[in-house]
Structures are given as C-alpha cells and as structure tokens.
Amino acid sequence: MERQKRKNPVLRTRLPTLPPAARSRVALGLTAAAALGRFELQQCRDCGTVQYPPREACQKCLSTNLAWQKQSAEGEILAETTLEHSNDLFFRERLPWRLGLVKLDCGPTVVAHLHAAAKQKVRVRAMLDRAGQAVIAALPQQETSDMADDRQLREFTCDPKHRKILVTDGKTALGQALIKELVSHQPEIVWVGHAEPWKKFAGFEEIRTLPQVTLVPLDVTDSKNVREVAAEIAGKVDIVVNNAEVHRSFGIANRPGVESARAEMDVNYFGLLRLAQEFGPAMRSRGADGRSSAVAWVNLLSIYALANFPPHGTFSASKAAAHSLAQCLRAEMRPAGVRVVNVFPGPIDDEWNQLLPPPKLAPAALARAIAGALRDGIEDVYPGDVAQEWLARWRDNPKALERELSA
Amino acid sequence: MLAAPVTVPYVRYSIRSAHWWLARAFSEVLKKSNLEKDAVDGLTVSSFTLAPDTAIGLTQHLGLSPRWLDHVPLGGASAVVALRRAARAVQAGDADIVACIGGDTNHVDSFRLTLANFSQFARDAVYPYGAGGPNASFAFLTAYYMRRHGAKREDFGKLCVAQRANALKFPLALFKKPLTLQEYLSARPIAEPLHLFDCVMPCAGAEGFLVLSESKAKSLKLPYARLLGTIERHNAFAADPVQMRAGWAIDRDELYRQAGAEPKDMDFVQTYDDYPVITLMQLEDLGFCGKGEGPAFVRRHSFTHDGSFPLNTSGGQLSVGQAGAGGGFLGMVEAIRQLTGEAAGRQVKKAKLGLVSGFGMINYDRGLGSGAAILGTAKT
C-alpha cells in the first residue's frame, strides 16, 4: 500500500457516512462477539444446529434455548460478485465492492465482504464495521504480509499503518513499549506526550531518536495545556492512545484523606474527559478523510473497571468511572465511524503491582495486544490470562466475582 | 374463472401513495366488468408500500364492505397465491366475486427504504453488505448458475431481447426502445455478472383481475379464462447452499395432473422475471427442460409472442417495469388477456393453455415463495 499523499488543505474533506447500522436485537450477538474479536454463531443447546442469520428459535427443532458459540471459521466461496452500484451513501463512495456467498464448514451459508485475495477456500471473521455493527468478512486462508492493506478490510480495521498516532504518556514502561510496538507498524508519525518536559526520563533518548517520534509536552491534568496541544495537532491525529494513568494501591481504610484518590481521578477520569473534549470534535470531522482517516481512540482501562478489586479500591473506582465515560465517548464518536477501543488489562508487571502474584502482563505484551486490536479491528481488549479469566468469571456471574475479589 | 384483467399504466416515479394505485386498479376492474362497487364481495390486496395499512385498512379507505378479505404480501408469488385463495373462497361460497389487486407506489427514495427494511434477515445479514439490494443476491445465483451449468451472458441476453420485442407491442410497457443483444452485452455492470438490462427497474403501478364462478362470468357476459391447476410452496430446499431450484420442482407433477396437461401443451409461459436466471430456474423446475439444461433450451427456442416458445408476452418486468407486488401480477394479467383474446398485436395464435409462475420474497439469500397456475380458455 502506498502512503497517502499530503492533502491540499483547501480542498473539501470527505464527510463521514456510515454503513447501514440497523440490526435486530438478536443479531447483536454477532456484534458482541466481534467486539472481542471472536467468531460466534447461534447454536441450539438442544439439538446442536448452527444457524445464520440469527433467529429467535432453532430452525430445526424450534427450541428457543439458543447460545452464541465459537464456530469454525473455515469456508468456501460458492459465488461472488462485485457491486458497481449501491443504494447506500457509504458504499457508493467506496465502489466497486466485492462480496461473496460463503458456505461455512459449520453449516450455514453467509453473505460476506470479500478480501481482494480471498479465493475459494477462505477464513471468515466477524468484524465491526464503521457503524460499530458486526459484519462477516472472508479473508484468504493463509495470512499474508500485506493482508491488512486490503482496501475493503481497512474499512473495518484501525490499522496503524500510515496513520498519525498520539500516545499520551511516553514516560511509563507501557508507554515506551507502545511506542516501539506502534513504530514497527509503519505509522506516519507518533506524537509522544510527556508531562513535566524539563525532566528527562528513563528511555527518553531512545525514544527521541526514533525517526517517526515527535515529543510533545502534554499533561492531561492541565486543561490549558491539553487545549494548546489539541490546537496544534488534533486536526491531524488519526489514533489517540490514552495510556496516561495514576495507580496507587490500598482501598479506603488504609489510606487517610482523598488526595491520592483525587490524583487518580484527575488523570484516569478527568484526563480522558479533557482529551476527549479537545481532540474528539476534530477527529469526528475526519472520520472519512481518505485511506488514512481518523479511526480510533484507545483507552487504557483495567480489568478492575468491571468489578472493584479492594486492595486497589480507589484505582478500580477511577477506572470504572473512565470505563463509563468511554462508553459515552464511543456513542459520540460512532457517527463519525471513529472506534473507541477499551483495553482491560489484568495487573501489569510494574512497581504498583509489586505485591500481586504472577501471572502479570509484561508491558511489551500489552503493547502488542493493543496494536493487534487496532490492526484486527477489535473494540474490547482483554489481554493476558488474568484479564481473560476475570472476564469469563464476570460474564458468568458478576456477583460471584465481587465475592471472589473481596475474599 | 378469471376475468377483467387490468393494468394501471406504470410510471417510473409517483407522488401518490400505494392507496392511490390500488384504488385505480380496483376501479379499473369494476369499469372493465361493468360492476358496481358493492357487487364485489371479496378482496385480496398485495403491496409493499401500503404500510402502515394492510388490506383491511384499504376497505375503509375505499368504502368497501367485503364479506371475504385477504392480505397477500408475498411479492412475486402474490398473484398465484391470491388466485388460489380467491378460487377456494368462490368454490366454498364465501364470496361470489373476488377482486385480486396488487401494486405499489415508487417515490424517488422509496426503493432504498424498502430494501433497508425488507425483512429481518435482509436488515441483519444482507443490507449491511454493500446495500446492493436484490442485485447482489441475484448476482450470486447468476454467477453460480453460469459456472455450474455453462450459461453465457448471451443466453440471458436472448431472453431480455425477446421480451423487449414483446414489450414494444404492449402499450403500457415503460421501455419503448428496441434492445439489441449488442446493447445488452455492452451495458454497464451493476453487480457482476449482472449488467444493466439483467435488472428490473422499480416503478409505480398496479394490476388487478376478478375471480368468480363460471355461471357468474357468463351471466355478466365477461370474457374469462379458466383455472385448471395450481400449486404453491414456500421455503423449499432450505438445505441447498445456493438456490438453484424452488418449490415447483416438488409440486409440478401435481400441477400438470390437475390440469390434465403436460409442459409441451402450453401455448405460452409467463415466468416471474426479476432477473433472467430466475426464468431459467422456473423453466427447468416446471419441466420444460431438465435441471441445468436451461442454456441449451434458450439456444434452441425463440421467445417472442410469435416464437417457438412464447414467453412473458407483454415484455415481463424486465421490459415493462417492476411495480413492487404488482410485478407478481403482471404475468397473470397478461395470461388472462392472452386467453380472452385481448392481447392485440402480441396475441399468441390459437392460445388455449398458458402457464403462469410466481416467485417472491428474497428474505435472505434466496426467494422463498413459489407458485404456478395453468390457465385455459373458456372452451378448455
């Protein structure tokens, strides 16, 4: 894929449109799975029939005892077409558009978006489209190095390639791992925020010398500073990765006063709010700005945002607040097709989690998970074994998890 | 018996609602049969754009008080199914004279809105995929059929060209210019392998006819056609991964048995022709040739009203236009005209028996409803 030429700023920017977003409630099961990067179809708990499109009852035995279950994604193209005409604005602007009728090994025949290199035997994925709703895309069976460059696939993903990225905090171990990881995905530019720019931090020199990196003084607790940085770069940023956080241990009784909790909220919650207010509007206006449009907003949350972990009680509360705000941001960014990606890691292997037993998530692994989620178009990321286990427990029984975490 | 075939002249776009078109169809049927409104005591209505109303709302809208009423929202299968229900009602004495009407309006943006909300499956699993509407679905079927059975674009083109020739002799057809095979082949692509002239043009229009007993038709001195056999089947062969056949293949022996006839006895055939591949599927499933022999059949025959296999003699939807659910009525109304000698310049000579086929509702990846009827002249 060629990098996009610099745009004439006088010319009109294409306004964002969305593909058809209406779905029945039962069809949102596909969206729920796609948000996690999973391919699930409805399966009858009584007779085992796999069916698609989603229904309210099993088409074989009429049972209403249906579950969304992981299915084999292998299939074969039965027929294909290339649309040269569409009745919808979003697709009209993106014609021609390749579609296929794919017979899945697990049973159903599905209509799917076809990757340009998909031939005969394919692997399907449930992916979120720009409207935030799941669609099925058929990809080549074997992964190729330039697979993510596909023009159609790029409409479903948030690939960092050729995009301009802001990482809000370059000082932490995770921030530095993120920068190195993102740089390996051929971004156009990576702006790296660092609060208190008069202090050199560990790793500063290494990051500064990366050709893609530009350091910007950025303190998310300082409204004026955030506004100034946004005035300079918000109209160019395609991906925001907000990894700035404050993490203190202890809950309520073991720490007097509210100062630590307030500091956590000021960065973890109000920091997100400040950034969203200053960067959000400009990004919304660039949701369809060519092949390298504004595309994603990543929030570093925590698995503790789902259920409070009392030993890190105030931190959990600040992340729960940020999670709630991120849902609001997601709704506000959706009309522009800009995806809000929430990342829910378990304990990161850093100084604030010193007393927690392994497994802990290495910053580099978390950085890889975040870049992978952007490339694959995933919306909710639960990286690592701890996060996956907590997610499974939470989905199974939230009350049980509350008891387990407070034990 | 079937009588009083009417077509309300189609237009590409209309500012009227479906109620206007259905009212016109109903009043044309009355005019043609010289009946008062109250003499019609049964009514079937087929329409996509009548919403939020259904048939019952239309009774008050038009000041009718039928003692038998049915709403038949089955798209291209509507006319055959409406005929079946109406014939049983007349047979059972539930109604004496049933008017079957079907039609739709077409505002500049109504086709897009119809597509977006056509069915739950379409909204969940088809429309978000490029919003191509039925063009995309039929492109799959056409591509698969071509690969499987060796059909060429020329084969589909031959049908389209012949239907256009028929349409030039049907004054109400929206397409007035001759079509050559070269023009067909070089038309712009819509959804490969479909090009412009493979696709029906949505329009506004309405159609109607009466169903009544033979004695009633005679006492009213109405020219009529006779219903000799009819079948209906829905969601047939659901396990086929791609639709290559529909309900006719299950029920056709029953159809011909009822009529005491065979495929070769048919003097003309009116297929549901929203895309030419569907015509081939019907000709195969209805026994005019074997499965996959459609292309050879097309190459062997000519399809104008004076050809070796008169097909869609008014031009079909491909050349008249697709007036929503009215499209399902086009072939039925034309068949009655042919069998009552009203087809003017496109009259099939000595037409005694004709077959009308209906096919409707692309709910997800295939048409669900299929039906057919064999009609004969009053003398049969």
Please check whether residues A40 and A128 belong to one and the same domain: yes
Say yes or no to pLDDT of A164 above 80.
Answer: yes
Arithmetic mean of pLDDT, B311-317: 97
Say yes or no to pLDDT of A6 above 80.
Answer: no
Please check whether residues A106 and A194 belong to one and the same domain: no
The CATH code belonging to domain B132-200+224-377 is 3.40.47.10
Please check whether residues A236 and A344 belong to one and the same domain: yes
Interface test with A, best of B112, B115, B129 (most A CBs within 10 A): B129
Q: Could you tell me which chain A residue has the CA closest to the CA of B189?
A: A84
The pLDDT, as a whole number, for residue A334 is 96
- Boundary residue ending a domain (A131, A155, A179): A155
Please check whether residues A229 and A107 belong to one and the same domain: no
User: Residue B112: which pLDDT band, with cuts at 50, 70 and 90?
Assistant: confident
Arithmetic mean of pLDDT, A54-76: 97
Residue contacts between A and B (CB atoms, under 8 Å) = 119
Beta strands at B353-362 and B204-212: parallel, antiparallel or unpaired: unpaired
CA distance A92 to chain B (A): 8
Q: Do B116 and A113 touch (CB under 8 A)?
A: no
Query: pLDDT by residue (tens digit) across A79-106?
Result: 999 999 999 999 999 999 999 999 999 9
Q: Could you tell me which chain B residue has the CA closest to the CA of A21?
A: B128
Say yes or no to pLDDT of A75 above 90.
Answer: yes
Handedness of CA A245, A251, A254, A255 (dihedral sign): positive
The pLDDT, as a whole number, for residue A353 is 86
Arithmetic mean of pLDDT, B225-241: 97
Q: Is A362 on the interface with B (CB under 8 A)?
A: no
**Domain extents in chain B:** 2-108+204-219, 132-200+224-377
Alpha helix ranges (H) inside B237-340: 248-259, 276-285, 294-300, 316-320, 327-339
Q: Is residue A312 part of a domain?
A: yes
Q: Is residue A18 part of a domain?
A: no
Please check whether residues A184 and A261 belong to one and the same domain: yes
The fraction of chain A above a pLDDT of 70, given in percent, is 100
> Which of B147, B188, B192 lies at the smallest CB-CB distance from A81?
B192
CA distance A26 to B124: 9
* Identity of the residue numbered B86: A
- Looking at the structure of chain A, the number of domains it has is 2
Q: Is B139 on the interface with A (CB under 8 A)?
A: yes
CA distance A291 to chain B (A): 18
**Which chain B residues contact residue A133 at CB under 8 A?**
128
Q: Do A27 and B129 touch (CB under 8 A)?
A: no
Interface test with B, best of A85, A93, A103 (most B CBs within 10 A): A85
> Which of B131, B141, B241 lies at the smallest CB-CB distance from A88?
B131
Q: Could you tell me which chain A residue has the CA closest to the CA of B122?
A: A53
Q: Is A57 on the interface with B (CB under 8 A)?
A: no
Which CATH number does the domain housing residue A268 bear?
3.40.50.720
Q: Is residue A3 part of a domain?
A: no
Please check whether residues A80 and A122 belong to one and the same domain: yes
Q: Could you tell me which chain A residue has the CA closest to the CA of B146?
A: A79
Say yes or no to pLDDT of B109 above 90.
Answer: no
Query: pLDDT by residue (tens digit) across B161-210?
Result: 999 999 999 999 999 999 999 999 999 999 999 999 999 999 999 999 99
Which range of residues forms the domain containing residue A331?
A: 164-405
Q: Could you tell me which chain A residue has the CA closest to the CA of B199?
A: A85
CA distance A31 to A122: 21
Question: First-to-last CA distance in chain A?
Answer: 53
Arithmetic mean of pLDDT, B73-99: 97
Say yes or no to pLDDT of B116 above 90.
Answer: no
- Beta-carbon count within 10 A of A250 CB: 15
- DSSP run (H or E) holding B123: helix B120-125
Query: pLDDT by residue (tens digit) across A170-215?
Result: 999 999 999 999 999 999 999 999 998 888 888 888 999 999 999 9
CA distance A337 to chain B (A): 14
Please check whether residues A191 and A143 belong to one and the same domain: no
Q: Do A78 and B112 touch (CB under 8 A)?
A: no
Q: Do B120 and A24 touch (CB under 8 A)?
A: yes
Q: Do B131 and A113 touch (CB under 8 A)?
A: no
- Boundary residue ending a domain (A155, A185, A211): A155
Query: pLDDT by residue (tens digit) across A262-271?
Result: 999 999 999 9
Number of helical (H) and strand (E) elements in chain A, helices listed first: 11, 15
Arithmetic mean of pLDDT, B48-77: 96
User: B206 is written with which tokens?
Assistant: 């309405």
Q: Could you tell me which chain A residue has the CA closest to the CA of B111?
A: A87
The pLDDT, as a whole number, for residue A3 is 75
Arithmetic mean of pLDDT, A369-385: 96
Q: Which DSSP string do the residues of A241-291 spell out, in sequence order? A: EE---------STTS-SSHHHHHHIIIIIHHHHHHHHHHHHHHHHTTTSGG
The DSSP output letter for B176 is -
The pLDDT, as a whole number, for residue A311 is 92
Q: What are phi and psi of A390, to 5 degrees?
A: -65, -40
The pLDDT, as a whole number, for residue A350 is 85
Query: pLDDT by residue (tens digit) across B136-168?
Result: 999 999 999 999 999 999 999 999 999 999 999
Q: Is B111 on the interface with A (CB under 8 A)?
A: yes
- DSSP run (H or E) holding A75: strand A74-83
The pLDDT, as a whole number, for residue B364 is 93
Q: Do B135 and A83 touch (CB under 8 A)?
A: yes
Length of chain A as a residue count: 407
Please check whether residues A231 and A342 belong to one and the same domain: yes
Q: Is residue A200 part of a domain?
A: yes
Q: Do A79 and B121 touch (CB under 8 A)?
A: no
Say yes or no to pLDDT of A69 above 90.
Answer: yes
The fraction of chain B above a pLDDT of 70, given in percent, is 100
CA distance B265 to chain A (A): 36
The pLDDT, as a whole number, for residue A146 is 87
Arithmetic mean of pLDDT, A318-332: 98
Q: Is B365 on the interface with A (CB under 8 A)?
A: yes
Paired with A190 in beta bridges are: A165, A213
Given a contact cutoff of 8 angstroms between Cβ atoms, the answer to whether A390 and A303 are in contact is yes
CA distance B340 to B210: 13
Query: pLDDT by residue (tens digit) across B241-276?
Result: 999 999 999 999 999 999 999 999 999 999 999 999
User: Residue A11: which pLDDT band, with cuts at 50, 70 and 90?
Assistant: confident
Q: Do B131 and A27 touch (CB under 8 A)?
A: no
Q: Is A407 on the interface with B (CB under 8 A)?
A: no
Q: Could you tell me which chain B residue has the CA closest to the CA of A132?
A: B128
- DSSP run (H or E) holding B45: strand B42-46
CA distance B44 to chain A (A): 30
CA distance A76 to A85: 25
Q: Is residue A327 part of a domain?
A: yes
The pLDDT, as a whole number, for residue A210 is 94
User: B374 is written with which tokens?
Assistant: 């064999």
Q: Is residue A323 part of a domain?
A: yes
The pLDDT, as a whole number, for residue A13 is 84
| Lowest-pLDDT choice from A12-21, A60-69, A333-342, B296-305 | A12-21
Pick from A239, A335, A325: nearest CA to A279: A239
CA distance A17 to chain B (A): 13
Q: Is A308 on the interface with B (CB under 8 A)?
A: no
Q: Is residue A8 part of a domain?
A: no
The pLDDT, as a whole number, for residue A356 is 85
**Which chain A residues contact residue B238 at CB under 8 A?**
59
- Boundary residue ending a domain (A155, A179, A199): A155
**Which chain B residues contact residue A82 at CB under 8 A?**
189, 191-192
User: Residue B218: which pLDDT band, with cuts at 50, 70 and 90?
Assistant: very high
Residues whose CB falls within 8 Å of the CB of residue A399, separated by 6 or more in sequence, listed in order: none
Q: Do B2-108+204-219 and B132-200+224-377 agree at the fold level?
A: yes
Q: Could you tell me which chain A residue has the CA closest to the CA of B108?
A: A87
**Which chain B residues contact residue A113 at CB under 8 A?**
129-130
Please check whether residues A213 and A180 belong to one and the same domain: yes
Beta strands at A239-242 and A164-167: parallel, antiparallel or unpaired: parallel
Please check whether residues A117 and A172 belong to one and the same domain: no
Q: Is A328 on the interface with B (CB under 8 A)?
A: no
CA distance B144 to chain A (A): 5
Mean pLDDT, rounded, of chain A: 94
Mean pLDDT, rounded, of chain B: 96
Q: Is residue A20 part of a domain?
A: no
> Which of A23, A79, A131 lies at the smallest CB-CB distance from B143?
A79
**Which chain A residues contact residue B193 at CB under 8 A?**
81
Query: pLDDT by residue (tens digit) across B320-351?
Result: 999 999 999 999 999 999 999 999 999 999 99
Given a contact cutoff of 8 angstroms between Cβ atoms, the answer to whether A135 and A126 are in contact is yes
Please check whether residues A134 and A189 belong to one and the same domain: no
Cβ within 8 Å of B, A 112-141: 112-113, 129, 131, 133, 135
CATH topology of domain B2-108+204-219: Peroxisomal Thiolase; Chain A, domain 1 (3.40.47)
Say yes or no to pLDDT of A118 above 80.
Answer: yes
Under DSSP, is residue B359 helix (H, G, I), strand (E, B) or coil? strand
Residues whose CB falls within 8 Å of the CB of residue B329, separated by 6 or more in sequence, listed in order: B46, B78, B79, B100, B101, B102, B103, B207, B208, B209
**Tokens 């109405």 -> residue:** B222
Paired with B355 in beta bridges are: B269, B374
Q: Is B136 exposed, middle or buried (0-12, 13-18, 19+ CB in 10 A)?
A: buried
